[in-house]
Amino acid sequence: MFKTILISQPLYFKEETKILLSLFEANLQYFHLRKPESSRDDLKQFLESIPVEYRNRIVLHSHYSLALDYNLRGIHCTANNRDEFYELEHLPIQKSISVHGFCEAGMVDETYDYAFLSPIFNSISKKDHHQAYQHDALQQFLARLRRSSFIALGGISPENIPQCKQMGFEGVATIGSVWESPNPLEQWKRIEAFQEL
């Protein structure tokens, strides 16, 4: 099934938990909790604000040992936390990774359930992150036999998800398209509808 993944804003903001709960209720299955400046205690406080029945949909980008404490979906390997990730990669939970470039992507193996490949389009949330790939080259790369699935990240919106599918991605991950929308819930529903197509 085509995955639709939401990544958090890097900083906490008012109403974040309230919006997130409405998204979980609207069938959000993959939520990546990425708060690079967050302390362990801040993350714990955030996780405790999420009802237990939704915690198994959350993937952590830091303070990975909390994943077992709170029965989370998984952990995500980032450039800043690779040492901690490798210490805990034996954990019996989902693992994912971020990669940039075909060389790095080609080394992703079955250790990871999926890998984010970015930026596919000009980023919505990071104004200095511009499209880094020719789409025909992406399609050729994704047509090859691979040991993991790839998720498109960077500038993802309902309008360009069909292109991502055509290129061969197994899913999309978004940040700005949802969080910067006047109505995050309605925007998420538009993105999530592509799971079924």
Q: What are the pLDDT digits (tens) for 149-162?
A: 999 999 999 999 99
Instruction: Kindly report, residue by residue over 119-129, the tens digit of the pLDDT.
Output: 999 777 766 66
d(CA 118, CA 153): 5
Are 142 and 114 a contacting pair, CB within 8 Å? no
Please say whether the structural domain 3-195 has been given the CATH code 3.20.20.70: yes
The whole-model pTM stands at: 0.94
C-alpha R_g of the chain:
16
Extents of the domains making up the chain: 3-195
The phi and psi torsions of 45 (rounded to 5 degrees) equal -60, -40
